[in-house]
Amino acid sequence: MTFMIDKARAAFCRGCAFLLVAAAAMTASCGAFADEPNGSATPDDWKAKLFAGDERVALEEPANGAVVAIRPGVIAGYKSPEERGWDAPYNCSELKNGVKECSHPTPVAFRWTFKEGASGFSTLQLSETPDFAAPIEISAGQETSAEATNLDTGATYFWRVKLTGGENAQPVYSSARMFATASDLPRWYKVPDISNVFMTKTLGIRSDIDLRGASEWGGAEDYGSPLGKEVAWLNYPIGCYEGIFNDKQKAYFRDIFKQLADESTYPAYIHCWGGADRTGTLCIMIKAILGVNDNDLCTDYEMTSFSVIGERCIQSDAFKKMRKELEAYGKEGDPFSVKFENYLISAGVTQDELNKIRELLLEDKPE
């Protein structure tokens, strides 16, 4: 199960795991160019100021000023519980149309052409600032196209092509263009083969919060995180759904949330075996205390269906049993945010600890 509370770096990875990085805002920027470097310039202003380079390399796509969709295309057909009716189930298999894995973000496609006199090897450069001070580089070799994935939602990017080798004694740079990613939430990640390098170097994971039981990871005394010795391995063999309400389970959740109140925990990688049920239950609980509304919580849970893990619906027996048990932690009509907070307090999590988690994972919305 995955979801991104942008710009919080609180990423909930559908059918995989849950990533939490401290310091973030509840929603992505509204408007395609809301995050421009000086905070006030219009897109046209920036178009006039973009880097002018060697015109032998002509940029084609995306067009200057384009807004590009990056969420998985099949998601457009999904209707949230609020849209379809809270008592109405849905059939994800109809949307997936026989495809098992539909949860990967849509990559942004880049294309350029060489004019007479251009030669060498192409490297796509992407930057969040027009000076390309610290660009992301994607090698294209002798091709004139490339793709980029895992870009932020509702963000402005600048791009150009660097040409090396061939007849170029020094690198040649094309002119630059800008584009924005659509503000569609949630944010989706594709982590190739759960690469350790990607997890530790790119995402900077410091804690591996493992929700599996000993029979799943082997139970060895010297077991540690597969991400490496520098990553703390924290094991909490929790249950899920209606199985979280006994004293033993409450003790696990108390310990987890005390850990989440410690700033040194972050960035944290939370997972079980499939990332849908145990991880999903904890994801809903964390996001609930962050103030995410019931419709978004349930939508994110159902988004798991677009991964290879299998369909998850709030009308399932397991989910309905959990909602039934939660009734004891609030009055009729109370949202998940109230009921899960009451559950955690009953488990021994303090109000100060809950407030600290909010402080670490949320920022005030812009005025």
DSSP structure string for 73-109: GGGGG---HHHH-TT----HHHHHTT-S---SPPPEE
Exposed, middle or buried, 326 (CB in 10 Å: 0-12/13-18/19+)?
Answer: buried
pLDDT value of position 185? 75
- Mean pLDDT within 246-272: 96
pLDDT value of position 43? 55
Which residue blocks in the chain are alpha helix, DSSP H? 43-49, 81-84, 92-96, 196-197, 214-217, 247-260, 278-289, 294-303, 317-326, 336-347, 351-361
Task: Tell whether the model's pLDDT for residue 265 goes beyond 90.
Answer: yes
Task: Tell whether the model's pLDDT for residue 73 goes beyond 60.
Answer: yes
Q: Is 52 helix (H, G, I), strand (E, B) or coil?
A: coil
The Cα angle at residue 345 between residues 247 and 4, in degrees rounded to 5: 100
Task: Tell whether the model's pLDDT for residue 90 goes beyond 90.
Answer: no
Distance CA 308, CA 41 (A): 43
Distance CA 341, CA 336 (A): 8
Exposed, middle or buried, 97 (CB in 10 Å: 0-12/13-18/19+)?
Answer: exposed
pLDDT value of position 181? 95
Task: Tell whether the model's pLDDT for residue 32 goes beyond 60.
Answer: no
Distance CA 20, CA 12 (A): 8
Residue 6 — pLDDT band, cuts 50, 70, 90?
A: very low
Give the dihedral sign, CA 85/91/97/99: positive
Contacts for 130 with CB less than 8 Å, ≥ 6 apart:
37, 46, 49, 50, 51, 158, 176, 178
- Phi and psi dihedrals of 172, rounded to 5? -110, 135
CB atoms within 10 A of CB 297: 22
Say if CB 103 and CB 276 are below 8 A apart.
no
Per cent of the chain over pLDDT 70 is 83
pLDDT value of position 61? 96
Distance CA 154, CA 181 (A): 5
Q: In order of start, what are the domains of the chain with their CATH numbers?
A: 4-27+187-361 (3.90.190.10), 43-70+105-181 (2.60.40.10)
- Phi and psi dihedrals of 163, rounded to 5? -115, 125
Task: Tell whether the model's pLDDT for residue 116 goes beyond 90.
Answer: no
pLDDT value of position 26? 26
Say if CB 125 and CB 119 are below 8 A apart.
no
